[in-house]
Amino acid sequence: MTDKELGKGGEPRQQTTDREKTMTTAQGGPIADDQNSLKAGPRGPVLMEDHIFREKMFHFDHERIPERVVHARGYGVHGHFELTEAIPELSAADIFQRVGEKTPTFTRFSTVAGNKGSFDLARDVRGFATKFYTKEGNWDLVGNNIPVFFIQDAIKFPDLIHSVKPAPDRGFPQAQSAHDNFWDFVSLSPEAIHMTLWQMSDRAIPRSFRFMEGFGVHTFRLVNAEGKSHYVKFHWKPKQGLQSVVWNEALKINGADPDFHRRDMWDAIDAGDYPQWDLGIQVFDDDFADNFEFDILDATKLIPEEQVPVRIIGTLTLDANVDNFFAETEQVAFCTQNIVRGIDHTNDPLLQGRNFSYLDTQIKRLGGPNFTHIPINAPKCPFHHFQQDGHMAMHNPKGRVNYEPNSWGDDGGPRENPEIGFKSYAEEVSGTKQRVRSETFADHYSQARQFYISQTEIEQQHIAAAYTFELSKCQEERIRLRMLSHLMNVHDDLAKQVAEGLGVTEMPEPATPAREPITDLPPSDALSILKN
């Protein structure tokens, strides 16, 4: 390669005679001059005929794809999961059978509300999504760093997200919950109150992705080879410990380095300081479910670790940065419907709705039904099916057979396999078709209170300060007062501190609970960062 000669515009020419290093068009045609478009004479006009210019500009014009409708800003890393305790008695999932076996993974951490260019230290929930490339297909555990969620039924999700994203007229705020619309929605959806306690706590401003927990949130099922099922909640416990920053620090970091979390992850992995998380399971049966104070299908509730201890069964190690951010981090498609034999869904109405939403949005975001052909999404085990065609098809069936049943014998392509094929847990289901919320989902304050009393004094002060700050941004007094009326049902001290901070002298009436809260739930140490 020579770069000493100058072109006519004085620019250094970077040329080669090596075929391997020769720049080409996307069609493979070698390029002689990538600095000048084709002109009629030295001063133009530029000719339409210039296929090299047109191809280059066309491709550039199409570089952007829609950002994720939520969790747009994220950071992905490769790793592996190593099983430390086999659980064949609980699950037939291949990944849970052999101690010491390593399964490749891809994990993407994210914020929820901000757009792709927003800052890392927003007060927000963090996504913690892991794709396990198991020997029996991809399993996606699409979790958050908070064990509960804002809503109980997926039909409310578009409204929740509309309320937290920039308002349609003014286009702000960006990546903040300090927003009339958001607090209006929450104060009219009391099921969200518990989650806002977590969101106003230090959990929502983690020190880095490396120092936060992860939760599958929903109750899932583990199903063993005999078809016996147990309920399960998945947990990620960071071996680095739990750390957050305080709000003051978050503001400064956002100003000084909006990429603080992604830089932290890149640097740690680049330096060989690989972050690790233990995978824990809370396993319980129908007896526990029937006697638990809350409905295990309600995603706004958690199961305290004192009641069902977390059993550690493996370790996730993140040990490789991506080669290309777009190809891997942007194009990865996590989906709650990606489960494998031995793991199954429950009737949680939030989970059922998610199973539709992810696949649907990914067809749009990634340009059609073939996004599983993108290497980061493709299974790493053998796979065979008769799906074909559509935009960007890379793996069409080979030969003449693309249907079944067929009578082409050994040439007939893939066949069903009842031995290792996925079987849904044979749960008995019956009921009247109706649009309704179960009464067992109606207690919205008890676990919010339990969370609050589980915090240390300083953590409680942070929660009160965060509500005060966020609600002080609400211009509408009625919204601030409505939120206070809910906080009064959570804890008097919290409500008083926030009211004082907001300058409210006359307290509103407490909100009328749909179901009387349980006021004597004991504190749980696992809910506090400082006690961990």
According to CB under 6 A, which residues from 78 to 117 bind ligand HEM?
A: 108, 110
Contact status: 365 vs ligand HEM (CB under 6 A): yes
244 binds ligand HEM per the rule CB under 6 A: no
The one catalytic residue in 144, 145, 181, 370 is 144
Q: Is residue 129 near ligand HEM by the rule CB under 6 A?
A: yes
Among 149, 220, 294, 445, binds ligand HEM (CB under 6 A): 149
Rg, Å, the chain Cα set: 27
| Placement of tokens 């929903």 in the chain | 218
Among 230, 354, 462, 482, binds ligand HEM (CB under 6 A): 354
Instruction: By CB under 6 A, tell whether 450 contacts ligand HEM.
Output: no
In whole angstroms, give the CA distance from residue 82 to residue 188.
44
Decide if 144 is catalytic. Answer: yes
Kindly state the smallest distance separating residue 416's Cβ from ligand HEM, in Å.
30
Q: Which of 114, 127, 190, 314 binds ligand HEM (CB under 6 A)?
A: 127
Euclidean distance between CA atoms 185 and 163, whole angstroms: 7
Helices (H), 260-303: 260-270, 286-291
Distance from CA of residue 179 to its chain's centroid? 23
**Residue 71: active-site member:** yes
Per-residue tokens: 267: 């640097």
- Pull the structure tokens for residue 187: 């104060």
What are the angstrom distances between the C-alpha of 49 and each of 23, 179, 294, 301, 448? 20, 52, 69, 64, 67
Least Å distance, CB 352 to ligand HEM, is 9
**Which of 50, 55, 56, 69 is the binder for ligand HEM (CB under 6 A)?**
69
DSSP percent split of the chain into helix, strand, coil, nearest 5: 30, 15, 55
**How far apart are alpha carbons 74 and 331 in whole angstroms?**
11
Note whether 154 binds ligand HEM by CB under 6 A.
Answer: yes
Q: Which is nearer to ligand HEM, 147 or 166 (CB)?
A: 147
Piece in contact with ligand HEM (CB under 6 A), picked from 137-145, 199-207, 290-298, 486-494: 137-145
By C-beta, is 200 or 333 nearer to ligand HEM?
Answer: 333
Taken in order 396, 399, 404, 410, the sign of the CA dihedral is: negative
Q: Which residue has the tokens 């914020």?
A: 111
Decide: is 352 part of the binding site for ligand HEM (CB under 6 A). no
From candidates 134, 144, 331, 485, binder to ligand HEM by CB under 6 A:
144
Q: Is 83 helix (H, G, I), strand (E, B) or coil?
A: strand
CA distance 474 to 495: 16
- Closer by beta carbon to ligand HEM, 6 or else 155: 155
CB of 199 to ligand HEM, least distance (A): 13
Strands annotated E in 307-396: 311-321, 343-344
Among 231, 358, 371, 452, binds ligand HEM (CB under 6 A): 358
**Residue 189: CA count within 13 A, CB half-sphere:** 22
**Is residue 341 near ligand HEM by the rule CB under 6 A?**
no
List interacting residues with ligand HEM (CB under 6 A): 68-71, 74, 108, 110, 127, 129, 142-144, 149, 154, 157, 217, 299, 332-334, 350, 353-354, 357-358, 361-362, 365
* Active site residues per annotation: 71, 144
